[in-house]
């Protein structure tokens, strides 16, 4: 599929991007290349390919999602977390500058 400058200008308007007039010809060529690649993909026979819902085989995992136990913890790494703080406070808190007068 070959696009002309008017079509590229219309696409740019709909996409809310600015394409200078000097770049319309190059952009038209690039978009035409992308559309021809998509047309080429549509010619691939996928009739023997099973639908996917992600990068893993869904039948190999249980159908029920695995949930972790919902419990509140502090992570037990207060010292490691505060080691990067510019102003650590006693009691395991971050010291921050005052922002309200």
Average pLDDT over residues 21-40: 93
pLDDT band at 76 (very low <50, low <70, confident <90, very high): confident
C-alpha 2: how far from chain center:
29
- 8-state DSSP, 54: S
Q: What is the pLDDT of residue 99?
A: 86
pLDDT band at 42 (very low <50, low <70, confident <90, very high): confident
Domain boundaries, the chain: 5-42
**How many Cβ atoms from other residues are within 10 Å of residue 67's Cβ?**
6
pTM assigned to the model: 0.47
The answer to whether the beta carbons of residues 28 and 5 sit under 8 Å apart is yes
């Amino acid at each position: 599929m070959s696009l002309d400058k008017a079509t590229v200008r219309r696409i740019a308007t709909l996409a809310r991007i600015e394409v200078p007039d000097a770049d319309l010809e190059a952009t038209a060529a690039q978009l035409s290349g992308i559309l021809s690649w998509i047309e080429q993909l549509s010619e691939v026979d996928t009739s023997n390919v099973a639908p996917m819902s992600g990068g893993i085989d869904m039948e190999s995992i249980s159908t029920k999602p695995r949930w972790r136990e919902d419990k509140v913890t502090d992570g037990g790494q207060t010292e490691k977390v505060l080691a990067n703080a510019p102003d650590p406070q006693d009691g395991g808190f971050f010291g921050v500058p005052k922002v309200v007068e």
